């Protein structure tokens, strides 16, 4: 007879965002031991690292974990994590996060038992976990919040591409290239699609129409309650999402599209219908169903915990 001794340690998953840093400690048997979220004092690398330290102290204390008891840590990061170097790139919403000192700071906290992974890929792992008993292991996850990203998921695993760039839909051009000889300012650092379709862009569009909302959640609720200004924003956002998803649909023919991020989660079925309608109008064949994420706001933490447990068991087994 044998069993898992949770006193041997735990794994940590971290969801890095501009508004919140969220942490979850999970026992080696897969049981959640503690969770916490901490708001950064500033949307910067320094602010996030300080929030991470405060959150880490809380979850370790709540779980009663011994010093050095974290067997592995997986951090869900905005931007792109280059697989060949681990360098962070294109995290334009989080100033300083792509600096080399960010990785140095994370390694100083967690040592060699650390993996920094693109957040939308971890969200895809979390979503696949939530759908494990449904047979829905293939889908496209489309996440819209302050940033925009996507993941093509095959057999429950996100496809990262040759350089970790798969799903960087933020850089999808919204206009055809200009003819030779005409001035071209080059691609946006943030990405043309993200600038047009992010949560910030939705709030700005509503404000231009005379309807001011503090959050996307408020805007989506107003649309469901019949606000014409809010509904116009939702329809425009649905059309933009459908435009981007039409590229995925003709390229990989997914059986399912899953909406995540603050826009997808707060938009709910109302927004999903708008996206599906726009997608169907763009295609000459049957569009795939569009659903809201089942993993919800915990998707990155759940995916991070699953990845951390896999790596922790490999690490611990090799030490036997």
Adjacent-strand bridge partners of 38:
21
Q: Across 64-78, 91-105, 124-138, which has the greatest mean pLDDT? A: 124-138
Closest among 304, 316, 311, 300 to 20, alpha carbons compared: 300
18 band by pLDDT with thresholds 50, 70 and 90: confident
Query: Mean of the pLDDT values across residues 161-183?
Result: 75
* Mean pLDDT of the residues in the chain: 90
Is 312:29 a contact under the CB 8 Å cutoff?
no
Say what the pLDDT of residue 16 is. Answer: 95
CB half-sphere exposure, 195, CA atoms < 13 A = 11
- What pTM was computed for the model? 0.91
pLDDT above 80 (res 318) = no
Long-range contacts of 198-203 (CB under 8 A, 24+ apart): 198/144, 198/145, 198/146, 198/147, 198/148, 199/144, 199/145, 199/146, 199/261, 199/262, 199/263, 200/146, 202/233, 202/237, 202/263
4-8, 37-41, 123-127, 309-313: segment of lowest average pLDDT: 4-8
SS (H, E, C) 140-167: EEEEECCCEEEEEEECCEECCCCCCCCC
Tens digit of each residue's pLDDT (9 = 90 or more) over 96-126: 888 888 889 999 999 989 999 999 999 999 9
């Amino acid at each position: 007879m044998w069993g898992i001794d949770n006193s041997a340690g735990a794994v940590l998953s971290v969801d890095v965002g501009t508004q919140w840093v969220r942490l979850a400690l999970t026992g080696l048997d897969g049981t959640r031991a503690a969770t916490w979220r901490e708001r950064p004092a500033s949307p910067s690398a320094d602010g996030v690292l300080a929030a991470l330290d405060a959150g880490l102290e809380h979850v370790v204390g709540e779980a009663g974990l011994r010093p050095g008891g974290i067997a592995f840590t997986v951090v869900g990061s905005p931007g792109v994590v280059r697989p060949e170097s681990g360098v962070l790139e294109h995290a334009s919403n989080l100033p300083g996060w792509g600096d080399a000192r960010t990785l140095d700071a994370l390694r100083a906290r967690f040592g060699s038992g650390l993996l920094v992974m693109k957040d939308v890929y971890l969200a895809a792992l979390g979503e696949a976990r939530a759908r494990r008993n449904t047979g829905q292991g293939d889908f496209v996850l489309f996440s819209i919040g302050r940033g925009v990203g996507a993941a093509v998921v095959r057999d429950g695993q996100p496809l990262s591409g040759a350089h970790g760039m798969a799903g960087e839909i933020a850089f999808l051009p919204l206009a055809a290239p200009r003819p030779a000889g005409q001035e071209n300012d080059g691609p946006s650092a943030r990405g043309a699609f993200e600038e047009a379709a992010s949560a910030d862009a939705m709030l700005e569009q509503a404000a231009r129409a005379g309807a001011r909302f503090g959050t996307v959640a408020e805007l989506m609720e107003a649309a469901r309650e019949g606000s014409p200004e809010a509904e116009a924003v939702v329809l425009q956002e649905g059309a933009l999402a459908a435009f981007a998803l039409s590229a995925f649909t003709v390229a990989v023919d997914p059986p399912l599209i899953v909406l995540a991020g603050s826009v997808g989660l707060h938009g709910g079925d109302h927004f999903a219908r708008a996206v599906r309608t726009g997608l169907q109008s763009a295609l000459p064949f049957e569009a795939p169903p569009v659903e809201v994420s089942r993993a919800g706001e915990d998707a990155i933490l759940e995916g991070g915990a699953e990845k951390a447990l896999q790596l922790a068991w490999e690490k611990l087994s090799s030490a036997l």
